[in-house]
Structure 1
Amino acid sequence: MTVAPAPHDDLPPRLTRLTFHGPLSEARATGMVRRLAATRPATVLDIGCGWGELLLRLLDAVPAAQGVGVDLREEDLRRGRRNAKTRGLTERARFVRESAAGTRRGPADVVLCLGASQALGDDPVTALRELRRLVTDGGRVLLGEGFWQRTPTQAELARMWPDASVTDHHGLAGLVDLAVAAGFRPEWTETASLDEWEEFESAYQADTEIWLAANPTHPLAPETRTRLDTHRTAWLTYRGILGLAYLTLVPTTP
């Protein structure tokens, strides 16, 4: 069970309804953990880990494994440490506040990078090369990476994130081709469903929406309202356009 941080009563809560920081169902997560655990990793590295839910589940499944999660947001790392303590994993799971750029924490037998490739480079090619450097021969990389399900129009791009561009993502086939070119073979290719996206995006904002409805005159209300409305416009625009691929990658032998 995930232990969410206790919110301050007078402040907007943050991500308390999310188990995973991404569109990932319990069923899909269970399959991923089972597949990765079957390789019997001794070491796990989680890039941009947040609170590291999948990392902790994998350590639960492989009692001999040691894991490290790196991220820059201390609030999320504290949540990960609390969850590790609750599950009796404190001795095997470390959450470290540091940049992943050029990290020397690899190579690891399993490298997780779920929606966090930007921590390794400005583009998927650079990130994939870094992931190949960080994984042991015979290990596995689990990459969660965005892709275009169809090419967005300029009007749609204008309602997404600031300076959104067609070049921000590849199609799914192009993304898998990039992984192969970087020195991997795709063991498993799967994509987040629309249900997973809607569950994630709704949970991402739900608690704060409720807080705003109850606190419309709070000093933080204008900023919170703008943030919520901007994000909701973005995700309802990229709904069905932006996909998330989960690629389980096997490094090729040099």
Structure 2
Amino acid sequence: MLRLLEATPGATGVGIDLNEDDLARGRAGAEARGLAERVRFVQESAVDTTQGPADLVLCLGASHALSEAQPPEHTTAALRALRRLVTPGGRVLLGEAFWHRPPTRGELSAMWPDASASEFHDLAGLVDLAVAAGFRPSWIETAGRDEWEHFESAYQSDVEEWLAAHPDHPLAKETRDRVDRHRSTWLRGYRDVMGLAYLTLVPVS
């Protein structure tokens, strides 16, 4: 959102989250970029939010915050919520997970607890859900392997550097177990199986 505001002089934005630490990080980022007067951060559930509607709604990897339904039904509920939050003629940018192919039992067992092949749709099914919710997909993109590897590596890089320098720290074992578990979940589980779609959606009048 802050990058978009930087690129769009005069635009204003609202960030919604329940986590006060994340909101504080957002406020600090806005201050550092000189955007504090153009953005608000609201501690509120996105389910039945009182914010909006907006000309552009960003929902990147956060559809679960728009619905209390369980996967995969949460995607349908989230799309309906996004349809209510966008102005006529506006746009929704949805970043949503999908299966490139059905995961094997072995891959599922290496993922998160209770991972299920029914948890996500394939790309075509995801786009069909958006159309059924009252959108037309004006642009369909997916994250490539390079983007995934950059994201996953950057996600843990600082911690890995810290572990290499502090192998005997009191918190090292707990931290090492956590990052090793996440890396295994990625490399043995969802790598090249789970994708991330970026859908630019236009509400039907």
- Using the size of structure 1 for normalisation, the TM-score is 0.76
Alpha-carbon shift at residue 165 of structure 1 (Å): 0.3
Matches within 5 A, 1:224-235: 224-235=175-186
Alpha-carbon shift at residue 132 of structure 1 (Å): 0.3
Rounded to whole Å, the distance in 1 between the matches of 2:4 and 2:151 is 21
Q: Give the match for residue 82 of structure 2.
A: 131
**Residue 226 of structure 1 aligns to which amino acid in structure 2?**
D
Matched, 1:59 2:10: no
Alpha-carbon shift at residue 234 of structure 1 (Å): 0.8
Q: Which sits farther off after the overlay, 197-206 or 71-80?
A: 71-80
Rounded to whole Å, the distance in 1 between the matches of 2:92 and 2:103 is 29
* Structure 2 unaligned regions, length at least 5: none
| Residue in structure 1 matching 2:149, options 195, 198, 202 | 198
Alpha-carbon shift at residue 178 of structure 1 (Å): 0.2
Q: Give the match for residue 160 of structure 1.
A: 111
Give the CA RMSD over aligned residues: 1.1
Matched, 1:186 2:107: no
Structure 1 residues 154-185: Cα deviation after superposition (integer angstroms, max 9, x where no partner): 11101011110011100000000000000000
Matched, 1:111 2:57: yes
Matches within 5 A, 1:14-163: 55-121=1-67, 122=69, 123-163=74-114
Rounded to whole Å, the distance in 2 between the matches of 1:222 and 1:95 is 36
- Using the size of structure 2 for normalisation, the TM-score is 0.94
Alpha-carbon shift at residue 79 of structure 1 (Å): 2.1
Rounded to whole Å, the distance in 2 between the matches of 1:235 and 1:225 is 15
Q: Give the paired residue count.
A: 199
| Residue in structure 2 matching 1:174, options 122, 125, 142 | 125
Q: Give the match for residue 241 of structure 1.
A: 193
Identity among equivalent positions (%) equals 68
* Structure 1 unaligned regions, length at least 5: 1-54
Higher helix share: 2
